[in-house]
Amino acid sequence: MRIRLLLILAISILSLKTYAQQPSRPNIVVILTDDHAVNAIGAYGSKYGATPNLDRLAKEGALFNRAFVVNSICGPSRAVLLTGKYSHMNGMRDNRDRFDASQDVFPARLKQSGFQTAWIGKWHLVSSPQGFDYWNIFPGQGLYYNPDMISMNGDITKHNGYGTDIVTNMTINWLDKRDESKPFFVVVGHKAPHRTWMPDTTDLGKFDHINFPLPKNFYDPYTKRIAAEMQDMSIEKTMKLGYDLKMKSDPDVTAASFIKRMSPEQRKKWNNYYDKVEADFIKKKLTGKALTEWKYQRYMRDYYSTTLSLDRNIGKILAYLDKNNLTKNTIVVYTSDQGFYMGEHGWFDKRFMYEESMRTPLIIRYPGVLKPGTVSNQLISNVDFAPTFLDAAGVAIPKQIQGLSMMPLLRDPNSSIRTSVYYHFYEFPGEHSVLKHFGIRTSRYKLIRFYDHKNFWELYDLQKDPHEMKNLYGQKKYEAITADLKNQLQQLCIENKDKEALNALAQNF
């Protein structure tokens, strides 16, 4: 009897010890930026030293080379992240829609399961957040300098300082006051580096010594690519000297309204820098290609300078986790709502299904799960974020979610969760005149269907043509590949219940 009691006691102690060794549910920090190009990040190959903290995060976690968005535009991309559903299912197709925040969003499920949840910074979904214990957001796009923010009680308050710093400080303040007995989920939503790329005054001119090389397809002739030729997002024709590049002599002085919000000290530093840039610009009297290439250099210098504060603030978040012994049990995710054109095809902005805007940075640090220094080339979509976070938290994934959990891939980087990604852009007519289109991207090929205003196809072999310069649709030797991709695309439209896309396919399949 005594031996039996001792055996039961030993088993009980072993069970308690095993349970104690099991990790608690991980905290989750999502750093979500706006328009951060993959090519501007050191871990992805950028050579300009703008992202040491992001590069550190990649070394301590995993870098995903093939992460994509399903709709490359600000608000809809956030709606996809929140719901795990495609734009036609969550109701936010473009920035003119209002997101129904009362629908089933994954942070609400995390909250119900015992997480503390927060969204701080850029929201850009018109409606107010729901499903969060705390939120404090920018109205609309938000501002870089001395921005207004809307609190949970509806008050709009002006906050003095630089927007990126303010969002980080507010996040750390919330973390300091959290209930430490509960796991937490927080989205750190930055405006940077969104247009009009306004650097912190401490970073003005930090990249003026660099002469950025023109992308090889900067002067793209858009041969056999109707939509690319129709767009209104070129550095040459669309980028404004006043609004985008801060030249006061330009008749379009829209940027002046932003400068008016600055404190006298901020404005003095700003004017001291840009007045010198403008004086030199006026002296040059540039025209033609020389003017276009000057605009490109100014754009790149402002864009990169804006990312410096962004990276510093990412460093502050990482340092906070280290200092408070949270690193080992916190998943840190860095991503952007989409990619961005850094002069490729002669463009800035996003929207197209082409790689530069469809592809988004994704870096994940997950101690104990992801081996440091991991690099993955598996296909991932931002519709997969919601089920992944629920899965990591041990919360059941609702059947209506259309994305797939990345957890199998995180546990085994050699595995895969999908063989293709689906894309659908709706905003036409709209800003930048990008036609409606949808399509499929596999590991090698991309098939795009442009529809409604004009109906045509584009096909790219990404292995032979990574910059998407040669539309192969209709060419001999590609008939079988095209037919297979069309069938895969149709199946995706059916599976994702995209009736608008199916109707477009029916017109000319």
Task: Judge whether residue 403 has pLDDT over 50.
Answer: yes
114-140 average pLDDT score: 97
Inter-residue contact 5 to 12 (CB < 8 Å): no
* pLDDT at residue 509 in the model: 63
Task: Judge whether residue 436 has pLDDT over 70.
Answer: yes
Inter-residue contact 106 to 223 (CB < 8 Å): no
% of residues, the chain, pLDDT over 90: 91
* pLDDT at residue 257 in the model: 74
> Residue written as tokens 């709606």?
79
Task: Judge whether residue 23 has pLDDT over 70.
Answer: no
pLDDT greater at residue 430 or residue 462: 462
Task: Judge whether residue 15 has pLDDT over 80.
Answer: no
74-88 average pLDDT score: 98
**pTM (predicted TM-score):** 0.94
pLDDT tens column, 146-203: 999 999 999 999 999 999 999 999 999 999 999 999 999 999 999 999 999 999 999 9
pLDDT greater at residue 16 or residue 224: 224
* pLDDT at residue 252 in the model: 73
* pLDDT at residue 414 in the model: 86
Q: Give 10's pLDDT tier (boundaries 50, 70, 90).
A: very low
% of residues, the chain, pLDDT over 70: 95
Q: Give 1's pLDDT tier (boundaries 50, 70, 90).
A: very low
Q: Give 253's pLDDT tier (boundaries 50, 70, 90).
A: low
Task: Judge whether residue 3 has pLDDT over 50.
Answer: no
Q: Token digits for 421?
A: 């990604």
* pLDDT at residue 254 in the model: 66
* pLDDT at residue 292 in the model: 98
Q: What is the mean pLDDT of the chain?
A: 94
Cβ-count burial of 433 within 10 angstroms (0-12 exposed, 13-18 middle, 19+ buried)?
middle
CA angle 119, 123, 126 (to 5 degrees): 130
pLDDT tens column, 99-125: 999 999 999 999 999 999 999 999 999
**Where in the chain are all domains bearing CATH 3.40.720.10?**
24-198+298-507
Task: Judge whether residue 22 has pLDDT over 60.
Answer: no
> Residue written as tokens 């850009």?
124
Q: Could you tell me how far CA 150 lies from the centroid of its own chain?
A: 22
What's the rounded Cα separation, in Å, for the pair 421 and 404? 11
The candidate with the shortest Cα–Cα distance to 292, out of 211, 216, 346, 249, is 346
432-454 average pLDDT score: 96
Dihedrals φ, ψ of 184, to 5°? -130, 155
pLDDT tens column, 254-308: 667 788 899 999 999 999 999 999 999 999 999 999 999 999 999 999 999 999 9
Q: How many Cβ atoms are within 10 Å of 326's Cβ, its own excluded?
A: 17
The candidate with the shortest Cα–Cα distance to 377, out of 2, 34, 63, 72, is 63
Q: Give the residue ranges of DSSP H helices in 157-215.
A: 163-177
pLDDT tens column, 387-400: 999 999 999 999 99
> What architecture is domain 24-198+298-507?
3-Layer(aba) Sandwich (3.40)
